[in-house]
């Protein structure tokens, strides 16, 4: 599986969802899909099957923002991690499967007796692994849990990376989690970029300024819970993660981290391309305006505007983008800012184009990062 490929991600999701919902399909089939031909001892497979049973009960019909079963996220993230690793091991798989346990599986969601039975079931499963592995697992899950006292996303990622020198597995688990979240932003039959040479499209737009806009092949789709502005916010989070990883680590020193890092960069670049394609098809359709936005954004990138967090500057719409549109003290403030961004389609085009260049640099330049991103927050760098 090509880890950044959206069509392959759709197929993985469909296979896991089918196995979860179909009567008579054993959990062994789900484990086989996750491992993709990798082998584990029978005793470890038994533990994994038991943890799957726990997750199915614990998530009990909860849904992701776009509607699919929430339990698909840990299953897919584990499958992505397994495909990125030269070899799989039980502790890494358990960490990925349970990485959201303390945030998503809450005692308040269950009657007391059901909660006791659920947690007793998990405790019994973990007693089947050796005590040191159980201790390391619980320690990993604690580090991977964002603190409920208002811990910022920047500080959370920085805290995970602080442990990287002694527990590099945490970085792999977090990157697989981010890769799944990056790919899980669309409910489509197939990748909108399938059959599209995106850079040829931009080149044609730059050369044929007076060319009339093409009529869309289908009506504008209904606005999704994860609209273009919220997809751009997820790409901002990836910029934060990849910049902090680059500050603390050399991804090339760990083969699995490098595979996942590059997959996030490529998947993010392609998602930004999908946002531009949608905007050029349905919103910013006049070719002359497309040309102007392309020229302005490429000039901004050439002069180094994407290499650091910037202050607001009325002379360029991209200056201050991270601070003004994505950085917020609360989820309510962020939602308000994203609504403002969604209403400004020209800025969305410029932001998506800038993200394409940012993630191309992350993928192709081993020294690239966005200055001004720190565990304390973001500031002009």
Residues 320, 226 share a domain: yes
pLDDT for 209 beyond 70: no
Interval 319-329: pLDDT, tens: 999 999 999 98
Interval 342-379: pLDDT, tens: 999 999 999 999 999 999 999 999 999 999 999 999 99
Most confidently predicted of 34-38, 63-67, 176-180: 176-180
Q: What average pLDDT does range 14-23 have in this prediction?
A: 85
In a domain, 156, yes or no: no
Residues 364, 221 share a domain: yes
Instruction: Give the pLDDT score at 207.
Output: 78
Residues 54, 188 share a domain: no
Q: Please tell me whether residue 57 adopts helix, strand or coil conformation.
A: helix
Instruction: Give the pLDDT score at 221.
Output: 79
In a domain, 158, yes or no: no
Instruction: Give the pLDDT score at 88.
Output: 96
Instruction: Give the pLDDT score at 66.
Output: 76
Q: How does residue 213 score in pLDDT terms, banded at 50, 70 and 90?
A: low
Residues 303, 225 share a domain: yes
Residues 215, 84 share a domain: no
In a domain, 155, yes or no: no
| Contact between 198 and 273 (Cβ < 8 Å) | yes
Percent of the chain with pLDDT over 70: 96
**pTM of the predicted structure, to 2 decimals:** 0.95
Residues 323, 212 share a domain: yes
Q: How does residue 220 score in pLDDT terms, banded at 50, 70 and 90?
A: confident
Q: Using CA atoms, how far apart are residues 280 and 282, in angstroms rounded to an integer?
A: 6
Residues 356, 249 share a domain: yes
In a domain, 1, yes or no: no
Report the 3 state secondary structure along 100-155: CHHHHCCHHHCCHHHHHHHHHHHHHHHCCCCHHHHHHHHHHHHHCCCCCCCCCHHH
Residues 199, 133 share a domain: no
pLDDT for 210 beyond 80: no
> In the chain, how many domains are there?
2
In a domain, 176, yes or no: no
Residues 213, 83 share a domain: no
Residues 327, 196 share a domain: yes
In a domain, 210, yes or no: yes
Residues 125, 203 share a domain: no
Q: What is the mean pLDDT of the chain?
A: 92
Environment class of 249 (CB within 10 Å of its CB; exposed 0-12, middle 13-18, buried 19+): middle
Last residue of a domain, one of 95, 123, 145: 145
| Contact between 99 and 173 (Cβ < 8 Å) | yes
Residues 218, 96 share a domain: no
Q: How does residue 251 score in pLDDT terms, banded at 50, 70 and 90?
A: confident
Instruction: Give the pLDDT score at 289.
Output: 93
Instruction: Give the pLDDT score at 203.
Output: 87
In this structure, of 40-44, 60-64, 93-97, 142-146, the range with the lowest mean pLDDT score is 60-64
Residue numbers of the domain that contains 277? 182-378
Sequence-distant (≥ 6) Cβ neighbours of residue 362 within 8 angstroms: 242, 246, 261, 265, 268, 368, 369
In a domain, 196, yes or no: yes
Last residue of a domain, one of 90, 122, 145: 145
Q: Using CA atoms, how far apart are residues 356 and 201, in angstroms rounded to an integer?
A: 14
In a domain, 281, yes or no: yes
């Amino acid at each position: 599986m090509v880890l950044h490929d959206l069509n392959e991600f759709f197929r993985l999701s469909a296979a896991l969802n089918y196995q979860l919902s179909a009567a008579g399909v054993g959990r062994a089939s789900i484990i086989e899909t996750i491992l993709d031909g990798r082998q584990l001892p029978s005793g470890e497979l038994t533990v994994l099957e038991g943890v799957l049973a726990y997750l199915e009960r614990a998530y009990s019909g909860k849904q992701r923002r776009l509607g699919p079963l929430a339990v698909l996220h840990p299953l897919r993230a584990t499958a992505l991690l397994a495909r990125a690793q030269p070899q799989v091991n039980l502790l890494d798989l358990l960490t990925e499967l349970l990485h959201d346990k303390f945030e998503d599986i809450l005692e308040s969601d269950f009657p007391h007796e059901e909660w006791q039975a659920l947690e007793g079931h998990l405790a019994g499963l973990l007693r089947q692994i050796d005590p040191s592995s159980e201790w390391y697992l619980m320690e990993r899950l604690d580090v991977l849990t964002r603190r409920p006292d208002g811990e910022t996303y920047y500080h959370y990622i920085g805290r995970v990376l602080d442990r990287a020198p002694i527990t590099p597995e945490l970085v792999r688990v977090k990157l697989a989690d981010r890769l799944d979240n990056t790919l899980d932003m669309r409910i489509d039959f197939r990748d909108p970029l399938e059959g599209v040479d995106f850079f040829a499209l931009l080149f044609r737009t730059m050369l044929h300024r007076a060319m009339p806009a093409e009529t869309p092949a289908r009506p504008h789709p209904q606005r999704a819970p994860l609209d273009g502005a919220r997809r751009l916010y997820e790409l901002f989070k990836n910029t934060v993660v990849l910049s902090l990883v680059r500050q603390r680590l050399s991804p090339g020193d760990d083969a699995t981290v490098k595979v996942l890092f590059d997959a996030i960069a490529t998947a993010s670049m392609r998602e930004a391309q999908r946002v531009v394609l949608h905007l050029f098809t349905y919103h910013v359709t006049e070719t002359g305006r497309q040309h102007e936005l392309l020229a302005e954004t490429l000039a901004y990138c050439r002069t180094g505007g994407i290499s650091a967090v910037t202050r607001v500057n009325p002379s360029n719409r991209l200056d201050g983008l991270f601070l003004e549109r994505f950085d917020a003290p609360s989820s309510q403030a962020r939602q308000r800012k994203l609504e403002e961004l969604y209403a400004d389609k020209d800025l969305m085009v410029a932001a998506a184009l800038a993200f394409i260049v940012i993630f191309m640099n992350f993928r192709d330049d081993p020294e690239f990062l966005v200055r001004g991103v720190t565990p304390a927050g973001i500031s002009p760098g």
